[in-house]
Amino acid sequence: MARMRGAIAAVVGIGEVPTGKFPERSALEAAAQVAREAVRDSGVDRRDIDVVMPTGSIFSRDFNSDLIFGRLVEELGLSGTVHSNMQVMAGGASGSTLLKTAAALVRAGLANNVLCVHADKLGTGVPIDVAIDIFSTLGIPEDWERPYGQHFSSIAALITRRYMEETGTTAEQVASVCVALRKWAELNPNAMFRKPLIVAEVLESKMLSEPLHAKESNMLADGASAFVVTRAERAADLTEKPAYLLGAAGRVTHYSLTQEPDMTRFGYADAARDAFAMAGIGPKDVDIAEIYDSYPVFNLIALEEMGLVERGVAGAFVLAGNTWPGGKLPMTTNGGMLSQGHTGAGGGVAVLVEACRQLMGKAGPRQVPNARIAVETSTGGSYMDAQVLVLANEVR
């Protein structure tokens, strides 16, 4: 195994509430709850949190403005002790971007402990048709694509069809990603969907945007999650198993999908190469793949482009059960957006929190035994960026 290099920073505490439809739970209540959980879990005194970093909330302009202007700082009783409240927003890539930004602050000595928070109410905070209209077209060019009916499901369908044509991947293999994720969600008390799922059920569901079916699409939900980032050298004094950030890289490849050079690869190969080199590891060293999964094809693309499996075999690999609980390469072990639920920018934050949870040994019945190294991916907008993080619970 490659010798791991020094850690950039460490996650020492996490918090999360159940994802789903919770009309009685306000976004502020959820944000405050996960923030307090993460701080308690971290072992950091709340008065030692010097930066609060919320990411964007989509359902409400007013709530998002409150996050920008420090309402959470006041709600947590941190007024006067926090040095900075700043919003970091990169859509689905916000989890990775929050951690990269927080790590840079602590690495540079500009902060000691950074609290990163997400909360949204896309499930019940606005009428569902409004939520779909808002969410499905954000980041799609208003001049050239949106007027002609382009939306996230149609974009995912284009990518899926092209990927299937190029690699020979079957509809059953694509659908098997949803089944694999549901296997993990069955073990996750915070997941929105926990009922067992089979490939036939996925393929028999309503056709959404050919070749994608309804059960291959994410469901908008209410949710919140948080994590605390600190300097790597003090992390072990705070918690038994920190989640150390060893490598981070990304590629922004387009805004409009028409400008993406290869919609079946994106920038994952380049991002993974750089992140692995920074961490001093290779694909064979990865124990867990926490992959951003707004639609199943993106799991397959990421697996292949990161070198975790060969090009064109990811579908067969997943269909064979290799990414299920007990499989060779556990993947997206919280159930992802396709089973835990999609909370806007929080979908990626939840996947990152799950990567840390696994490395910290706090995943309960879905804990992956002897997990040491996790790779986490995310992407925002019309899959315009490919972000790859490498995390580990020890540093050599």
Report how far residue 290's alpha carbon sits from residue 225's, in angstroms, rounded to the nearest whole number. Answer: 16
pLDDT band at residue 5 using 50, 70 and 90 as cut-offs: confident
pLDDT digits (tens, 9 = 90+) for 350-372: 999 999 999 999 999 999 999 99
The predicted structure's pLDDT at residue 132: 82
* In the chain, % of residues over pLDDT 90: 89
Give the mean pLDDT of 69-90.
96
The predicted structure's pLDDT at residue 1: 40
Average pLDDT, the chain: 95
Instruction: Spell out the long-range contacts of 145-151 with Cβ–Cβ below 8 A and sequence spacing 24 or more.
Output: 145/256, 145/257, 145/258, 150/257
pLDDT band at residue 249 using 50, 70 and 90 as cut-offs: very high
* In the chain, % of residues over pLDDT 70: 99
Residue 144 CA, distance from chain mean position: 29
Helix (H) or strand (E) holding 228: strand 222-230
Residue 143 CA, distance from chain mean position: 29
| Sheet arrangement for strand 243-252 | 84-85, 51-54, 113-121, 222-230, 9-16, 243-252, 385-392, 373-378, 288-290
Per the CB < 8 A criterion, the answer to whether 377 and 387 are in contact is: yes
pLDDT digits (tens, 9 = 90+) for 36-51: 999 999 999 999 999 9
Report how far residue 63's alpha carbon sits from residue 82's, in angstroms, rounded to the nearest whole number. Answer: 20
The predicted structure's pLDDT at residue 262: 92
The predicted structure's pLDDT at residue 147: 85
Report how far residue 349's alpha carbon sits from residue 354's, in angstroms, rounded to the nearest whole number. Answer: 9
The predicted structure's pLDDT at residue 3: 55
Per the CB < 8 A criterion, the answer to whether 43 and 73 are in contact is: no
Q: Give the SS3 label for residue 241.
A: coil
Q: Is the pLDDT of residue 4 over 70?
A: no
Higher pLDDT, 219 or 62: 62
Give the mean pLDDT of 120-129.
93
E strand spans, 313-384:
373-378
Q: How many CB atoms lie within 10 A of CB 201?
A: 16
The position carrying tokens 């382009």 is 150
For β-strands 243-252 and 9-16, DSSP reports them as antiparallel
Residue 375 CA, distance from chain mean position: 11
Q: How many residues does this entry show for the chain? A: 396
Q: Is the pLDDT of residue 2 over 90?
A: no
Phi, psi of 10 (to 5 degrees): -145, 145
pLDDT band at residue 85 using 50, 70 and 90 as cut-offs: very high
pTM for this predicted structure: 0.96
Give the mean pLDDT of 214-218.
94
Question: What residues are paired with 386 via a beta bridge?
Answer: 251
Residue by residue, DSSP assigns 24-61 as: TS-HHHHHHHHHHHHHHHHT--GGG--EEEE---SS-H
pLDDT digits (tens, 9 = 90+) for 184-193: 999 999 999 9
Q: Is the pLDDT of residue 382 over 90?
A: no
Buried/exposed 89-124: b ≥16 CB within 10 Å, e otherwise: bbbbbbbbbbbbbbbbbbbeeebbbbbbbbbbbbbb
Per the CB < 8 A criterion, the answer to whether 229 and 349 are in contact is: no
pLDDT digits (tens, 9 = 90+) for 260-273: 889 999 999 999 99
Helix (H) or strand (E) holding 156: helix 152-167
